[in-house]
Structure 1
Amino acid sequence: MSLLGTIVNGIAIIIGSFLGLFWSNISEKIKNTILQAMALAVCILGIGMGLKSEQFLIVIASLAIGGALGEWWDLEGKLNQIGKWLETKVGKQNQGSVATGFVTATLVFVVGAMSIVGALDSGLRHQHDVLYTKALIDGFCAILFTSALGIGVMFSAIPVVLYQGAIALLATQIDRFVSQELMDALIVEITGTGGIMIVAIGLNLLGVTTIRVANLLPGLLITTILVFIVEKWGSIVAFSQGLF
């Protein structure tokens, strides 16, 4: 079953969020310390991911083009609207804004190499170990995020399941069209691009800046396009040199 790992991941986030609700009565000082610790960990995670890029110009171009598209489409605003709608359904939580928790957790849980690699592994080989590992990490993070940001974190399970599920289902057919070399290059550069976004999330959580990270998400699509172009162009050049 190609979606098993994704389903387990979503359930882990929901369970972690429920557990985090029991921490809602702890002092604000403890909540702030937990959130700052998580933010620092997120920054380090993002830096590590960003350094994995082998063609950093692709990362830069992807963020620039993707950021422009994201601002044009106002993805951050649309995600916040979804969060505000959820807020009207569940009520304003004393421990945080539903919209803030939903947007922040969605970005942290969705943007990353484990989401892509794990979903691909589920779809291609029906192996779910990567997503099982991610489920444990996300579940623990959900506890901490919910304690600091509120119940909105729980609803991030929905986009996580949709995103990873779509990749897993696509992966059942993708090996017919994409070589392993291209797939490896794609994962590396998406990891690098996603890492920069993860760093931005960490900085936002620390209150250092207010980067509209959701508006950078189209950069992941641009990365895919640019990697494909670069790999194909390299093949064409190599073929041409072979002729002459």
Structure 2
Amino acid sequence: MILLGSLINGALILLGGFIGRLLQNIPDRVKETVMLVIALAIVVLGVQMGIQSDNFIIVMVSLVFGTIIGELIDIDGMLNRLGQWMEGKLDGGKLSNKEANKGSLAQGFVTGTLIFVIGSMSIIGALDGGLRNDHSVLITKGIIDGFTAMILASTMGVGVLIAAIPTVLYEGLIAIFAGFISAFIPQEALDLFLKQLTATGGIMIAAIGLNMLGLTKIRVANTLPAIPVVAIIVAIMYVL
């Protein structure tokens, strides 16, 4: 079953999120410290991924042009509006008593989606599931996502659980079309793409961690177009 890894990943996010909602009464200082530790670990993970590129010009150009595209179409704004719309629906349109937490669902949804979706583990794991029926990468990622969702949901709310939906859809679609990808893309080009994507995604992940630490306010969602830009650049390099 090629979607097994994606479904397990989503289920572990939901499980961690539900547990996190039950742990809302733990001391704030504990949640704050754990969140900061997770944020720091995310930064380190991002840096580790980012330095894997052997051609950093590709990464930099992809990020610059991808961010320009993302800012022009405002992906971050669209995701936030989607989260706020969901919040309104879940609250039955009665947000007046929750003015102070109005952005909680949106924040949880956007943050969770970015953390769970961005990164090479999603793509590599989905490709492994689709091409070789090997789900070990996505299951490992799911365990990490589950613990992350546990902490995020205890502080950011139910929006973190909803982030499981785009995660499963994203990984599932990659797994389904993995066969088509392998049929049309030479292995050498695919390996080059994954290496540069790993580095590009790593920088995005590091930015998420820095935002969580409160050191930056980068609209990471607006950097997402860098992913197809990487693919275009790699394709041009391979052809030439």
Asked if Structure 1 and Structure 2 have the same fold, meaning a TM-score greater than 0.5 normalized by the shorter chain, the answer is yes
- The answer for unaligned runs of 5 or more in structure 1 is 234-244
Q: Decide whether the 8 Å contact of 1:76 with 1:215 is kept in 2.
A: yes
Q: Decide whether the 8 Å contact of 1:96 with 1:149 is kept in 2.
A: no
Decide which of 203, 206, 219 is 1:212's aligned counterpart.
219
1:163 partner amino acid: Y
* Shift of residue 95, structure 1, vs aligned partner: 11
| Whole-Å separation in 2 of the counterparts to 1:96 and 1:218 | 25
> What corresponds to 1:44 in structure 2?
44
Q: RMSD over aligned Cα, in angstroms?
A: 1.5
> What corresponds to 2:94 in structure 1?
none
* Shift of residue 179, structure 1, vs aligned partner: 1.0
* Deviation larger for 74-83 or 19-28: 19-28
- Tell whether 2:63 aligns with 1:75: no
2:10 partner amino acid: G
* Shift of residue 96, structure 1, vs aligned partner: 7.5
Inter-CA distance 132–116: structure 2 relative to 1 (3 Å threshold): same
Decide which of 127, 134, 141 is 2:141's aligned counterpart.
134
| Whole-Å separation in 2 of the counterparts to 1:9 and 1:191 | 19
Q: Decide whether the 8 Å contact of 1:96 with 1:150 is kept in 2.
A: no
TM-score, normalising length: structure 1: 0.92
Q: Decide whether the 8 Å contact of 1:95 with 1:149 is kept in 2.
A: no
1:110 partner amino acid: V
| Whole-Å separation in 2 of the counterparts to 1:190 and 1:34 | 29
> What corresponds to 1:32 in structure 2?
32
For residues 1-244 of structure 1, what are the structure 2 equivalents within 5 Å? Answer: 1-91=1-91, 97-233=104-240
Inter-CA distance 96–145: structure 2 relative to 1 (3 Å threshold): farther
Query: What is the percent sequence identity of the aligned residues?
Result: 50
2:74 partner amino acid: D
| Whole-Å separation in 2 of the counterparts to 1:198 and 1:127 | 25
1:182 partner amino acid: A
| Whole-Å separation in 2 of the counterparts to 1:129 and 1:32 | 31
TM-score, normalising length: structure 2: 0.93
Q: How many correspondences in the alignment?
A: 233
| Whole-Å separation in 2 of the counterparts to 1:157 and 1:116 | 16
Partner SS, residue 54 of structure 1: coil
2:198 partner amino acid: T
